[in-house]
Structure 1
Amino acid sequence: MIGVLLVNLGTPDAPDTSSVRRYLREFLMDGRVIDIPYIFRSLLVNGIIAPFRAPKSAKVYQQLWEHRGSPLKFYGEDNVHDLQKKLGDQYAVRLAMRYQNPSMESVMHEMQLLNLKKLIIIPLFPQYASATTGSVFEKVMDLMKSWQVMPELKIVNYFYNHPGIAKYFAEKAENYRKKHSFDHYVFSYHGVPERHIKKGDITKQTCSFGTCCDKITDKNHLCYRAQCFETSRLIAKEMGLKPEEYTTAFQSRLGRDPWLQPYTDETIKKLTKEGKKNVLAFSPAFVADCLETTIEVGEEYKELFEENGGQHWQLVESLNNSKEWVEILKLLVEN
């Protein structure tokens, strides 16, 4: 039997303060997420961020929560069900979360007991980043180090350039373009601190936060920033957009250190000053609609856009539980 493990970032068990605080502590104590010495990270997370951010975040999660729970989780469960049907009985498909539940520890233990011939792990992050895919890699290695019998192991480290991704977003965008005329397009990706990108530049000479990401090369092919810009180019090409018709930006920055730029909120203000009134937005760093897409991009940025003179802001839905996404997952497994 072949195991297929889909791994997403994680979500609180419930939209209440204690659950959110527990989630934040596990998430932010990961040294790949906040890459400062453990003692300072612990003081920051347990003494400041988790206690003060949890109540506010819990209210936001309450807006997001549906009768099935967290969309990030139930879309993942749908993906497992549909992918299992497509692959057949020779595969065992499971879902795990890097943080909280279903935990990687419990699901990996279940996989171990299946005595697999091969284990294929797909972190559900289109672009590679140390804080996401890299963290999943590290956790897998840590959990498997005690296994006496090792199956063949395959880990997908990115899939932003799978042709089905650009095609999906272009087709969804076309549905909105048939109903409305847009004068600009924004591709908003989750930000990371610039130091994360610098640390990932093994050459120590490539990264300049400028034209170095204008195309994918042998030197930057695992750079998160470069992959984000390439994702935008691939979707824009599928849509027939010119470079001046779209902007790539980064959201969700935290703290005072510089994060990847341009920032999405500042981009929105700039676009409205330029007279842009109708914008179609994308969040191609996420495979499922969640707090960062539905709330941050879909609602908060819409409000910011309108406050600054914009008229129509529309978010294109993520891959979620679409048949196109399940087919992409099937191809990732088979290839």
Structure 2
Amino acid sequence: MAKTGVLLVNLGTPDSPSVPDVRKYLREFLMDERVIDIPFLNRWLLVNLIIAPFRAPKSAKIYQEVWLPNGSPLKVYGLSNEKVLGEELGSEYVVRLAMRYQNPSIPAVLAEMEKMYLKKIIVIPFFPQYASATSGSVHQKVMETVKTWQNIPEIVFAGDFYKHPLLVQGFADNAGKFLQNNSYEHYVFSYHGLPERQTVKAHHGKTCSELGCEEGITEQNYACYKAQCFETTRLLAEKLGLSKEMYTTCFQSRLGKEVWIQPYTEDVVKELAGKGIKKVLAFSPAFVADCLETTIEVGEEYKEMFIELGGEQWDLVESLNDTPIWIELLKDLVKTYDQPSVFR
């Protein structure tokens, strides 16, 4: 009997924390037209003459800090997810991990799957909230890869899962480890940022302010990254029993001088310290696996900034990584999108 393939896709990681491998990774990542959406020549000059040469040495040092004995956290957790989910799903499924950038690459993994006579492939991008630069880029790469196949099986892309009950419960459970022994004055939900122009493009020319993306999900903004982030925060705050004045949604990892979606996390850190807030619990709900942006940026850099400004305690809630509830969520996504086709 033909099997169903499950392709798990995370953003990517350099092959090692060495400067050459980090530079190679940055070039592939940032040359994606969905990540830096400017004309090709401008993008090529920016990435190859400015960002990659100067950022690679600094990023390599940071990668060395988070690198695990078996490799990059994203890859280690991803391979664990592949193994455990495959065992949970059983022999009717083939589960494989791929990275949008670097290895294991989407083309290489799909080439392996092409030879398996699969009846269907379910693609699960590891991004709870949809953005063109993440989920959209995965969709595009998969479609570009399979378009040359002689026999193309049914391919289904799992949608955004920012409001999945198990995602909310998973982060709430991880927060519980801190809440048992600590009392916090404020809660920060920090998401990876995007240039503001990308949300305007997604809205066909309208801004997040015009569509009320901070207020809730509507028919017009349901696919907006910022709207989905604010909704993720609302659901988590509700689960944790937080009132509106107790938490803030913000965005990190801004690159360059261009306006990105706001408020910026670094500004929020300064504002909280200025108000005399002493104890903060931080979350990074745009990431399902801990990485540079969670462990270092939110967990260490913002903590250092907060303490220097007079804060006393800044703790970071871990991502879902390879916890049982994350595997259960993935399993639920597979079963949801593996509905039998009428014609097969």
Normalised TM-score (structure 1): 0.98
Instruction: Provide the rounded CA distance (Å) in 2 between the counterparts of 1:229 and 1:97.
Output: 27
Q: 1:160 to 1:259 in 2, by over 3 A?
A: same
Give the Å deviation of 1:115.
1.1
TM superposition shift of 1:172:
1.6
CA drift of 1:300 comes to 0.5
Deviation at 1:83, TM superposition (A): 0.2
Task: Tell me what 2:104 maps to.
Answer: 102
**Hey, what's the Cα distance between the residues in 1 that align with 2:250 and 2:17?**
29
Q: CA RMSD in A?
A: 1.0
Residue 44 of structure 1 corresponds to 46
- Is it true that 1:161 corresponds to 2:163 in the alignment? yes
Q: Measure how far apart 1:213 and its partner are.
A: 2.9
- The answer to whether the 8 A contact 2:82-2:97 is kept is yes
Structure 1 partner of 2:147: 145
Q: Is the 8 A contact 1:206 1:220 kept in 2?
A: no
Structure 1: distance between partners of 2:208 and 2:186:
28
1:300 is matched with which residue?
301
Structure 2 residue aligned with 1:334: 335
Show the counterpart of 1:195: 197
Which one of the candidate residues 169, 182, 185 is aligned to 1:183? 185
* Alignment-derived partner of residue 91 in structure 1: 93
Q: Distance in 2 between matches of 1:30 and 1:132?
A: 10
Structure 2 residue matching 1:208: 3-state secondary structure: helix
- Does structure 1 retain, via aligned residues, the 8 Å contact 2:213–2:226? no
Q: Say whether the 8 Å CA contact 2:200–2:206 is kept in structure 1.
A: no
Q: Once the 2 structures are TM-superposed, how far is the Cα of residue 210 of structure 1 from its aligned partner?
A: 7.5
- In the aligned structure 1, how far is the partner of 2:177 from the partner of 2:22? 36
Q: Which residue of 1 aligns with 2:233?
A: 232
Mapping for residues 186-265 of structure 1, pairs under 5 Å: 186-202=188-204, 204-205=205-206, 207-208=208-209, 211-265=212-266
Q: Which amino acid aligns with 1:302?
A: K
Deviations 1:79-135 (A, max 9, x none): 000000100011000000000000111001111111110100000000000000000
Q: Assess if the C-alpha contact under 8 Å between 1:160 and 1:227 holds in 2.
A: yes
Cα distance in 2 between the residues matched to 1:6 and 1:126: 13
2:130 matched to which residue of 1? 128
1:147, CA displacement in angstroms?
A: 1.2
1:80 partnered with 2:58? no
Question: For residue 22 of structure 2, what is the aligned residue in structure 1?
Answer: 20
* Paired residues of 2:273 and 2:306 also in contact (CA < 8 A): yes
Aligned length: 334
* Aligned mates of 1:263, 1:235 — CA distance in 2: 20
Q: In percent, how many aligned pairs have the same letter? A: 60
Distance in 2 between residues matched to 1:306 and 1:207, nearest whole Å: 32
Partner in structure 2 of residue 276 of structure 1: 277
**Once the 2 structures are TM-superposed, how far is the Cα of residue 208 of structure 1 from its aligned partner?**
2.2
Q: Secondary structure at the match of 1:212?
A: coil
Secondary structure at the aligned position of 1:122 is classed as strand
Partner amino acid, structure 2, of 1:179:
N
Q: Return 5+ residue gaps in structure 1 as ranges.
A: none
1:305 and 1:143 map into 2 onto residues whose CA distance is 45
Using the alignment, how far apart are the partners of 1:104 and 1:153 within structure 2?
A: 14
What is aligned with 2:13? Answer: 11
Quick one: structure 1 residues 209 and 266, their matched pair in 2 at CA, closer, same or farther if it must change by over 3 Å?
farther
